[in-house]
Every structure is written in C-alpha cells, then in structure tokens.
Amino acid sequence: MTPERPLGVALVGYGYWGPNLLRNYMELPSAWLKWVCDLRPEQLAKVKARYPSIKLTRDLAEVLADPEVQAVLVATPISTHHAIAKAALEAGKHVFVEKPMTSDPADAEELIELAAARGLTLMVGHTFVFSPPVRKVKQLIDDGTLGDIYFVTTQRVNLGLHQKDVSVVWDLAPHDLSILYYWLGEYACSVAVNGRGCIVPEIPDVAFINLKFPSGIVAEIQASWLSPVKLRRTIVVGSKKMLVYDDTENVEKVKIYDHGVDFKDPTDFGEFQLSYRTGDILAPKVSGVEPLLLEAQHFVQSIASGDTPVTSGEQGLQVVRSLEAADASLRAGGTEMPIDLPPAG
Amino acid sequence: MTPERPLGVALVGYGYWGPNLLRNYMELPSAWLKWVCDLRPEQLAKVKARYPSIKLTRDLAEVLADPEVQAVLVATPISTHHAIAKAALEAGKHVFVEKPMTSDPADAEELIELAAARGLTLMVGHTFVFSPPVRKVKQLIDDGTLGDIYFVTTQRVNLGLHQKDVSVVWDLAPHDLSILYYWLGEYACSVAVNGRGCIVPEIPDVAFINLKFPSGIVAEIQASWLSPVKLRRTIVVGSKKMLVYDDTENVEKVKIYDHGVDFKDPTDFGEFQLSYRTGDILAPKVSGVEPLLLEAQHFVQSIASGDTPVTSGEQGLQVVRSLEAADASLRAGGTEMPIDLPPAG
Amino acid sequence: MTPERPLGVALVGYGYWGPNLLRNYMELPSAWLKWVCDLRPEQLAKVKARYPSIKLTRDLAEVLADPEVQAVLVATPISTHHAIAKAALEAGKHVFVEKPMTSDPADAEELIELAAARGLTLMVGHTFVFSPPVRKVKQLIDDGTLGDIYFVTTQRVNLGLHQKDVSVVWDLAPHDLSILYYWLGEYACSVAVNGRGCIVPEIPDVAFINLKFPSGIVAEIQASWLSPVKLRRTIVVGSKKMLVYDDTENVEKVKIYDHGVDFKDPTDFGEFQLSYRTGDILAPKVSGVEPLLLEAQHFVQSIASGDTPVTSGEQGLQVVRSLEAADASLRAGGTEMPIDLPPAG
Amino acid sequence: MTPERPLGVALVGYGYWGPNLLRNYMELPSAWLKWVCDLRPEQLAKVKARYPSIKLTRDLAEVLADPEVQAVLVATPISTHHAIAKAALEAGKHVFVEKPMTSDPADAEELIELAAARGLTLMVGHTFVFSPPVRKVKQLIDDGTLGDIYFVTTQRVNLGLHQKDVSVVWDLAPHDLSILYYWLGEYACSVAVNGRGCIVPEIPDVAFINLKFPSGIVAEIQASWLSPVKLRRTIVVGSKKMLVYDDTENVEKVKIYDHGVDFKDPTDFGEFQLSYRTGDILAPKVSGVEPLLLEAQHFVQSIASGDTPVTSGEQGLQVVRSLEAADASLRAGGTEMPIDLPPAG
C-alpha cells in the first residue's frame, strides 16, 4: 500500500456483524472496500441498495483470485473462520478475522503459522481493545497511575436473545478476556468456572470465570445473559489507586479513586454513612471515537507497517485456549484447568 | 418477660461493636440494659461517662449470677464467643452472639444443642438480615415478583484497615452468606474460592467465593478490602425480573428491572446505545429504620414468643461451616469443598 | 400523495442542520428527497459525494418550478426563513421550516395566513417535541398520572461554541418553549427574564426565563452556554406525582416520584439522611427512536391527512412571540412582558 | 473563657431545632450547656429524661440572671427572636440566634448595634455555611480554581410538610442566600421573584428568586415544597471551571468540570451522544463532619477570640433584608426590588 493507493479489501460474511465492518471501512480513506461475499443473495441485495459501487459475489474463489484484493475481512460464523482465513492467507491476502478467532486452538495455531510463514498480517476483531475507555485504562496501568495491579473483576450481564448453540462463555467472555490480556500484558495460566444453564440446562447462561495469571494477579469475569438491563462494571484494584470502568455510563465511563490517609473503620451505622471513600475521585476525559473505526485503521496501518497488531493472532489464540479451558472447567463442575501459554517470544 | 417488665440484659464486650448494641438497647423500651462487662477498665469508664446508671464489671460470673439478667449479648472477639455463650446458656440466660458465631462449627453445634436442651433463645448478630433493603428483597423473592431465582452475585469491596489475623473471607463474607441464606431459604452445599493475599501473601485480602445450592441456584460473592471506596452491588436474577441492590445508594437502594418483549440484539454500536434495557425500572420505597434497632427488637420478641429467630443458631452454624469450607478451598487453590447441611427438620 | 407515490421533497439549506434532515428523509420510504438547494457549491459537493442521485442547485426558483416537488424543507439561517417559506407556499408547496420559525412574529403570522389560505401544511422543526422521553412525559400529563400541574422548571446548561450574533434566549429557549407548550397545551401569557452577558456584555449568555400561563401554572427555563458539561434537568411537579426528565441520562431519562404518606420533617442531620423521598420511583421504558425520523414521518403524514401538525405554525409563532418578549424583558432588566396569545380557536 | 473553664451556655427554645443544638453542644468540651429554657413543661421533661444534669426553667429571666451563663442560644419561633436576643444582649450575654435572624430588618439592625455597643458576639445559625461541601466550594472559589464567577443557580425542591403561616421564600431561601453571600463575599443588591401558591393561593409554595450582585454576578434560587423527593443542585459557573454541588449525593457531593479544548457543536443526534463534556471531572474528597458541630465550635471560638463570626449579624441582616424584598417582589407579581446594602465597612 502506498499513500496514493488505498488498501483493496474484501468482506466475507454480511450477517449480524458484517454491516458494521462495511460501514466503517467505507469511511476509511486508506481502504477501498471492493468486494462483499456472502452465500445469501438477499444479504448481497442489501449491500447493493446502500452501496451500488461494491462488487458482490457468492463465490469466495472469485474474491481471492482478484489481485486488487490485498486483505480479507472474515465475518462469517465461527465454524467457518478457519477455512476461509486459511484460504485467504494461502492466496497471499492479509486477514482480519472476527472473534472468537476459531473454535479449536489447533486451527488458530495453524493460521498463525501460515501468516508468519508468508509474512502476512493476521488480526483478530477484539473490538473492545479499541474502545477509548479501555485504551484510557491501559494507559493508566502502563504509566503506573494505579501502581501494582492486585486484581480485576468484571461484570457483563447482558440483555439479548439467548443463544441456541453456544455457552455464555463463548458468547461474552471473549470481550473480557481480550481486554484483560491487553491491559495486563500477560495471559491467564489457569481458569476455574462455575455456572449454570438456567433456561436450558445444557447451555450455560451464567458463568463465574476465575482466572490466575503468572504474575500472581487474579481476575474474575461474571458473564450472563438473562438480564433486562445491561450491566457492566469492571474494577481494577492497584496498590496506588483503584479504577472503575462502566461502559453503560454516558459521561463518567472511567473513574479513578484515590486513597486518602485519614480513614478509619466505621464504628456505627451513622458513621458508616460518612466514610464512603477516602480520597478524590477523577473521571478523566475519554474520547468518543467509534472503536470499530479505530480497529479498521489499526488493521490498515499494521499491514502498511508490518508491525504485529495489538489484537494479534497470538492474542486471539490465547482467548480461544482460555475459552476452551473455561468450557472444560464448567463441564467438570468448576475444576481448575491449566491454559497453555505461548512459547516465550 | 411480661409487658410491665422489660427484659433484663447484660452486654459482654464493649469494643468495636459493643457500643452500637448498647445504644440501640438503650432506646428499646422492652429491654433494660443492666450490665456491661468488659475486661478493660478504660472501656468501662466510657460506658460510665455516657450512661451512669448502668452497672459495670470485669467479672462475667457476677453478671451471670444476677437473676435479673435474662439475656446476654456477646460482643467479644470471636475466639471467646463459645466459652461466654456456653456459660451464659448454662446459667439459664438467652444468648445473642455476634457474627461470626464461632470459629469452629463444632462449637456452634454445641451452643445450638445447649440452647435447645434448655429451651433458651439463641440468636446470631447477622445485622444485614434486618436491614430494610435486604428485607424488601426478601419480600420480592417470597411474593414471586422475581419469579424463579436463577443466580445471585454480590460485590463487597471495602475500604477499611487491613485485618491482621483473619482472611477477608471471615471478615466480610458472613454478611453476604447470611443475606443469601435468608433470601433463598436454603443453605449452600458446596463452595469454591479463588483469591489472593495482595499485601501479605498469607492473608487473603481478595476472594471470589462460588457457591452452589441444593436447588441448583448458583451464587458468587466477591469480597475484598484494599479499595478507596465502598462498592456494593448485589444482583438477583429471576425468571420474571431482575433486581439490583446497592447499599451505597442514598435514594434508590433497590431497583427492579422488568423484562420487556420488544428487544433484539444490537446490530451496531449506534443501536447499542439505544437498547440498554427492555422494560420499566421500579425503585420501591425502602424504610430508613436502623437495622440494629430492628435486630434488638427481634431478639426481645423471639424470647417473648419462644419462636426461633430469623438469624438462628442454625443459620449462624451454616455461615461458620461455609466460612470454614471457603477457607479450606482458598488454601487448596480453589478446589470445590462440600458444606455439611443441617439435618432436615 | 398516494401510497404508491412517495412525497417529492426539496431541502433548502445544507449547513449545520440540513444534513440531519437529509439523512432522515433518505430513510423514509414515504418521501423522495429529489433536490438539495444551497448557495455554496462546496456544500452541494458534499451531498453529491454521499447521495449521487439527488439533484443539486443554487437556484431556489428551479426547485419551486419543479411540479414533482410537493414539499420544501427550510434549513437556512433564520433571517431567510420567511422569504424562502413564503416563496414556497406561494408556489403551492407544503413547508417545513426550522426553529425558530422567523425572527419577527409578523413574518410568522404572514406564513400562517398564507398556508391557511392555500390549504397547505406548515410545520416548524421543534424536534424535541418528537423525542420519545418528551412524548412519554406528555402522555403522563395527559392521562392524569401527575395530577394537576403546579409548576415546571428546566435547566439547559450547554457546552458549545459561544454564538456571535444571537442571545442564549434565541439559541436555546426555543427547545424548552416548544416542549412546554406541547406538554401544557397552552401558551405562556407573560415572561420576565434576568440574565447577563458574561463573556461579551452585549450578548446574554445566561438567562433565567420566568413564564406565567393563563391557567396559573408557572415555569422557569434556565438557559446558558459556558458550561464544560451538558446539564439537562426538567422537573414537572403535579398534585399527584412529580417527574424528572434528564436527557443526559442513558437508561432512566424519565423518573416518576410517588408521594408517600408517612413522611415528616427531619429533626436532625442524621434523620435527614433517611428521609430523601417518600414513595416509589418508577423509570418507565422509553423508546430509543430518533426524534428527527419521527418528525419527518409526522410532516409527511400531516400533509397526507391534512391535519394540523403538532408543531404547527401557530406553535412556532408563539415560540417566536415568547422569544421576542423574553429578549425585550432581558434588555429592560427583567421587567415582566406580556406575550400576545393567538385568537381563541 | 479560659481553657480550663468551658463556656456557660443556655439554650432557649426546645422545639423542632433545639434538640440538635443541645446534642452538639453536649459533645463540645469547650462548652457547658447549663440551662434549657422553654415555656412547655412537656418539652423540658424530654430534656430531663436524656440529660438529667441540665437545669430547666420556663423563666427566661432566671437564665439571664445566672452569672455562669455567658452565652444564649435562641431557637424559638422567629417572631420571638428579637425580644429574647435583645434581652440576652442587654444582660451581657453573647447571642447565637437561629435563622432567619428576625422577621423585620429593623429588629436585626437593633441587635447588631446592641452587640457592637456592648462588645458581645452575635452569630446567626446559618448552618449550611458550616457544611463541609459548602466550605469546599468556598475554598475553590477563593483559591481561583473556578476563575471569575459568572453565575450561580440552585435548586431546593423539598419534601416536607407544607408550612401554614410562611411563604416558601422565608422557609427555604435563607439557606441558599446565606450560602451565596458566604461564597461570593458580597450581598445581592436587587431581587425579582416569580412564584405561586399551588395548594393555598395566599401562601407561595414555589418561588424562582432572581438575584443581582454589585459585581455583575447573577444568581437564581428555585425553592419549593411539594416534592416527593429532595432535589438539590447548585451550579457555579466560572471562567475557568464549573462546579456542581448536590447535597443529596452520598459520595460525590462536589464535582468540578474542567473545560477542554477540542469541543465543537454536535452536528447530529449521534454525535450528540459523544460530546457530553469537554474535560476531566474531579470529585474532591469532602469531610463528613456534622455542620452543627462545626457551627457550635465556631460560636465558642468567636467568643473566645472576639472575631466576627462568619455568619455574623450583618450577614443575618442581609438575609432578612433579601427575604423581605423577595416577598415584596413576589406579592407585586415579580417586580424587581432593591435590597439595601450595609454601609461599606
């Protein structure tokens, strides 16, 4: 890609999520979304109505054969991620694949090796990593504002239709796992999961996912559907400060709580009222840019620079390994399961 | 006790919590707080300054020998609960003992048997059970407003001095365990706990406590010190409605979220903004009466009626058994531990 | 207009607000946005880039001469509203004109008469009247939920660039005036305004607008720029219930506060804590539909049905009369000014 | 008063507010509350039950004749403030009088002159001036954090019993007037009030009080009863920052909003969502000490030092003058009324 020539891009899969990718790539001057590929003619018709200039096809081979296509966006059902991404890499295309990367870690490993062997960029669509409040928290961890990180807890209680064929772990936990791995700069080494299928016993719809990290940090992800309101609350407790990140908040998405020095235990219920906190609270300004646009820009830039994307194949693989281990733990009634770590690089 | 004669009461232990009991019993027309017993003369001096009419002693025997003392309140360190409560029961006194009831389940069992054998009231000071919002939630569960209960999660992130000699499990979880047992009307049958000692490695200061109940309900308690702000949030998800109880809220401590019928999955980040919830939200009026006063009234009334108190010895025992199993699980790295249930009554 | 033929529409003015009208009319199957007219070629170029099928012109006469144009949307600077709308009405077109309708009440009166004489629809773009929470409040007033309305106060403290040539009264108060007139079903009969030009003394940037209504209801609008955060809070106090509407809230935009029966004055600062409210609080579900889309639909439907639009020319006129009187009061140092009411119809 | 001898104090009036003064003076080592004087034997009986050591009387003369009484606290109905305070000053006692100081400005002037002539301390019980968040705001104004103050608005929408014999202006506005005069360090020079008696037409129960200050600052106080929930929100807008003070907030009573540099007008409803604010938000730690205790300490210290109290007779007088002018404006339908300023000192 040169500055004069935008990156030629093909989108494969135009279902639930594909339209979001399409809309953002259309706004990106550095990319030229040339093709949309989907098996369903009615989906292609929708593209045509809005963007008559885009080429449409039901045949992946046609897309991969186009030398003007330099990168492929894979937004199909997860079971097809591996085959499509593999074909694209083998055709010499850079690949962006939606989360979770694959359903089997071995498939993810194969894609990573293939991309590395061919010098192609492989990126996974862990969009929350590009969300401005998540980036702000990363900055506050990295610059030492919070001090040493002690633990992280996160709640993701969701409204939304019950998924028919996948546990809540595979549906919701990829978001939080990718955020945690991004923030902490390390991968969990074990997981123990308690949960339950409240509606359909075989399909867990609530899960408490306990993670341990090599550094000693512990984290817990609460994931469930079933709620009539979205609840998000992530707490990051460090040796210096504590942080609360709530994505449902309009104005104060990130709040930093300072420790004070003059607190003491409450001695009665009256005093209890007076000691809710010990220091100042700061809600830093967080940008309102759309994460998907930042994600698209990052993919284009990673290809241009040759740098590994933040949401790399390796990160995608570790999320998949964590999900697989988490599901195994849940099926085993909560037994702690080790998670393979990538070879030290 | 007759209506004309208030209940003669002795308070044993005037340290951190004793003054709260004293203040509330002094406001209760149905009780006559006659004695305060404490080993420390300087603590007794504080009582004398405020309430010159109360008799003071360092000698428990003197209190127990007083035939006008019908009930003893035990607010001493936990390690002494058993001995003092036992002596009081053997002297024919009704006993109120602070939480946790004992450090050893066998000790709690002995107290229950002793009280039963002598026909005396034994009550444990799980004060939150008497908190108006907790009572309101109980009512909403019992009257079917929430439908079948699917799961409960609760966060108790506390500021406060780090405890020197006890894990965060023993310090904070008694509150949530007693609340859960009160709400659900059943006891947890197993527990798995992950956690960490962030400040002092041997003393866990953060714990994720996963509970299973015989009915299939699962629950999770997050407990930690280390925070510069109190965070409380309990979520009860039922088949009909969901409820959020936040004790740090001034006005809307309990919120009930109704399910609507017209929701669907968000299809992009814009629509995401528009689908935060699906139905009405109701914050019912909750009384502002002090829980400790209600607790004191309940103790007096339980003695008068002969009925088992809500926070019975059995409930106190199951909390202790749960704490012991939780601590064992935490020491074992998170292994699930069974919790003995009381014989079906 | 028949169901088979969408309404032919021309948009005049493609500056700050025009693009929003364009986008929404493009999504409306019942309208066919055929023309965009603007004096600035660079603005027309922007339309062309996004919507190549739309006809573009700098010449209003060309638009008005097109028999396929049945309705004209006027989104030009306020000083040109009257001339453009008048020309459109005289050409037999239905007219939608942005708020404020005109800068001079006499001009607004002329437009109303012209539309009436020709049997054309004249609607003013008071968009907030189409906002779902505003509509919900209207419903709660009309169905008697709040009882008799006692008073209304509203705060509109805005961030945003300081306007160079118009007072904050003309900039912000049209929103609240149109909302109040919609809710109460009557127009204010007098206004007294205190305010100040904090930055530029001649340009008021904060105004406290006191309104009296024929029924006895009083209302107050606080309007200002200068703030680093948007604050919105409208309180409607009725004989039965009170309502708070906060447009910056994500989830609970409208809250209804019920009166209880057991309250009393606080007698000390401790009890103060316990008496924040007297009854239940209900946050009803409010739809998330975009107000501009509802406004566009209403314009098309009003033309089709021949019914007077909710945001009629008369409502637009009374807003202009109120603004003129308010500005006069502000210049006179706060003297109460009468507002002419429309002849009783 | 010497360090060895606490200040001898008599409390006159043990009705709604007197018990709060009593309780706080009892906790003050530097004061010795010797007498309570009230005409109602049943009120004196309440004192006796709680504090048997306090001397009781129905005869003010007995109190004033006691040479050990150095200071008198006047907490009787407002109509008696002047006579009691005057008698106390004439008897050589320092005087603390509840708010509003008197119902007639001339009476307040007389008390000020009398106290000055005798070298006695005269303080008015504007308790909110001693509230920690109000003090924090004062500090932020005085240290220049907010920059030049542009305007202040405050809402005091109260639940509570409707007052039978006084307008909402006299009942609620003293709080906000004293806070404003304390913060701004100047007194309002004119007032215009719109309002209404919603329940009883002759008794205004909602009032919008518009104030002008010699420096050009404008302020508005919204006062009403009639609400089922307490609403408080005070906004102070300065040239550098804006501040919101909400006394019903538990944790973040004071929030400071910083201006950012990158804001612009929203151009559509979507972007609207993204531009709620422009800079960081800081909620500084505010102490939880009871204002009444600080007020009592300040009275004792002012007597000891001979310094004029913050809530001086002069401040009390200007509040009374403002209330009188506000009531006159309200009766006159909102006409602006001048407020006499104290002679420049």
Residue A186, phi then psi, degrees to nearest 5: -150, 165
Phi, psi (rounded to 5 degrees) for B262: -105, 20
pLDDT at A262 over 70: no
Residues in chain B: 345
**Rounded-to-integer distance, Cα B74 and Cα B94, Å:** 11
What sections of chain A are H helices per DSSP? 18-26, 41-50, 60-64, 81-90, 105-118, 132-142, 168-184, 269-272, 291-305, 313-331
- Is the pLDDT confidence value at C345 over 90? no
Nearest chain D Cα distance for residue A236, angstroms: 19
Does residue A81 carry a pLDDT above 70?
yes
State yes or no: pLDDT of C52 exceeds 60: yes
The two structure tokens encoding residue D10: 């008599």
pLDDT digits (tens, 9 = 90+) for C86-102: 999 999 999 999 999 99
State mean pLDDT over A60-69.
98
* Neighbouring-strand partners of residue C153: C220, C235
ipTM of this complex prediction, to 2 decimal places: 0.89
Inter-chain residue contact C16 with D242, CB threshold 8 Å: no
Preferred mutation among D281, D286, D292, D294 to probe A, highest tally of A CBs within 10 A? D281
Look at B230-234, D67-71, D210-214 and tell me which has the smallest mean pLDDT. Answer: B230-234
In angstroms, what separates the C-alpha of A307 from chain B's closest C-alpha?
28
D227–C233 CB contact, under 8 Å: no
> What 3-state class would DSSP assign to D16?
coil
D251 touches chain B (CB under 8 A): yes
- Report how far residue D222's alpha carbon sits from residue A142's, in angstroms, rounded to the nearest whole number: 46
Q: How confident is the model over B171-190, as pLDDT tens digits?
A: 999 999 999 999 999 999 99
Say yes or no: A163 contacts chain B, CB-CB below 8 A.
Answer: no
Judged by CB atoms within 8 Å, which residues 303-342 of C form the interface with D?
333-336
The alpha carbon of residue C129 and the mean position of all alpha carbons in its chain are separated, in whole angstroms, by: 6
Tell me the chain A residues in contact with residue C48 when contact means C-beta distances shorter than 8 Å: none
Of A286-295, D45-54, D147-156, give the lowest mean pLDDT range. D45-54
Q: Which of C251, C270, C273 sits opposite A248 (nearest CB)?
A: C251
Instruction: Decide if A160 touches B, using CB distance below 8 A.
Output: yes
Average pLDDT over residues B20-29: 92
pLDDT for position B27: 86
> Closest residue of A to D256, CA-based?
A282
Token couple for D46: 């309440």
Q: What is the mean pLDDT of residues B263-273?
A: 38
pLDDT of residue D164: 62
* Burial letters C68-99, b for 16+ CB under 10 A, else e: ebbbbbbbbebebbbebbbbbbebebbbbbbb
* Mean pLDDT, rounded, for B20-24: 94
Q: How far is B17 from chain A (nearest CA, A)?
A: 7
Report pLDDT digits (tens) over D97-125: 999 999 999 999 999 999 999 999 999 99
Element (H, E) at B256: strand B254-258
Q: How much is the pLDDT for D50?
A: 80
Give the N- to C-terminal CA distance of chain C in Å, as an integer. 28
C-alpha to C-alpha distance for A190 and A213, rounded to whole angstroms: 7
Minimum CA–CA partner of D274 in chain A: A288
**CA distance, residue C24 to nearest chain B CA (Å):** 15
- Confidence band of D265 (pLDDT split at 50, 70, 90): very low
The predicted structure's pLDDT at residue A226: 80
With a pLDDT cut of 90, the percent of chain B lying above it is: 77
pLDDT at residue C327 is higher than 60:
yes
- pLDDT at residue number B129: 98
Question: For B254-271, what is the mean pLDDT?
Answer: 57
Q: Does position D263 have pLDDT exceeding 60, yes or no? A: no
CA of C293: which chain D residue's CA is closest? Answer: D269
Q: What is the pLDDT of residue D288?
A: 84
Average pLDDT over residues B86-107: 97
DSSP A78: G
* Among D245, D241, D243, D244, CA closest to D258: D241
Asked if pLDDT for residue B232 goes beyond 80, the answer is yes
Q: Is the pLDDT of residue B270 over 80?
A: no
Tens-digit pLDDT profile for residues A104-160: 999 999 999 999 999 999 999 999 999 999 999 999 999 999 999 999 999 998 775
Instruction: Give the model's confidence band at D269: pLDDT under 50 very low, under 70 low, under 90 confident, else very high.
Output: very low
Q: What pLDDT does residue C200 have?
A: 84
Give helix B168-184 / helix B132-142 axis angle, nearest 10°: 40
Residue A271 reports pLDDT greater than 50: no
CB contacts of D252 in chain A (<8 Å) are: 281
Q: Which residue has the higher pLDDT, D343 or A217?
A: A217
The residue with tokens 């403290």 is C157
Q: Which two tokens stand for residue D169?
A: 């202006």
pLDDT at C19 over 90: yes
Q: In this complex, which of D250, D258, D260 lies closest to A276 when CB atoms are compared?
A: D250
pLDDT of residue A161: 56
Q: Yes or no: say if D32 and D300 are a contact pair by the CB < 8 Å rule.
A: no
Res C63: pLDDT: 98
Interface test with D, best of C130, C208, C225, C294 (most D CBs within 10 A): C208
Q: DSSP character for A168?
A: H
User: What distance in Å separates residue C257's CA from the closest CA in chain D?
Assistant: 6
C-alpha to C-alpha distance for D248 and C276, rounded to whole angstroms: 8
Neighbours of chain B (3+ CB pairs under 8 A): A, C, D
A interface test, pick of D244, D252, D253, D286 with most A CB neighbours within 10 Å: D252
In chain A, residues with a C-beta closer than 8 Å to the C-beta of C249 are: 250
pLDDT in tens, B140-158: 999 999 999 999 999 998 7
Maximal C-alpha separation, chain B: 74
Q: What mean pLDDT is reported for chain A?
A: 90
Tens of pLDDT, residue by residue over D292-318, are: 999 999 999 999 999 999 999 999 999
In tens, the pLDDT along D118-157 reads: 999 999 999 999 999 999 999 999 999 999 999 999 999 8
pLDDT tens digits along D168-187: 999 999 999 999 999 999 99
| A242-247 own/partner pairs: CB under 8 Å, 24+ apart | A242/A146, A242/B226, A242/B227, A242/B228, A242/B229, A243/A137, A243/A140, A243/A146, A244/B231, A245/A133, A245/A134, A245/A137, A247/A131, A247/A133
Tokens read off for A275: 């000691």
At residue D5, the pLDDT reads 82
User: What's the rounded mean pLDDT across residues B217-240?
Assistant: 91
d(CA B194, CA A28): 45
Q: What is the mean pLDDT of chain C?
A: 90
Q: What is the pLDDT of residue B274?
A: 35
pLDDT average, residue stretch D49-58:
90
Cβ within 8 Å, pair C288-B273: yes
Q: What is the pLDDT of residues C149-191, one digit of tens each?
A: 999 999 998 775 556 678 899 999 999 999 999 999 999 999 9
Of B271 and C343, the one with more pLDDT = C343
Q: Distance, in angstroms, between D51 CA and closest chain B CA?
A: 10
Q: Are residues B273 and C284, on separate chains, in Cβ contact within 8 Å?
A: no
**pLDDT value for B264:** 43
Cβ distance B251 to D229 less than 8 Å, yes or no, reads yes
Quote the pLDDT of residue C2: 46
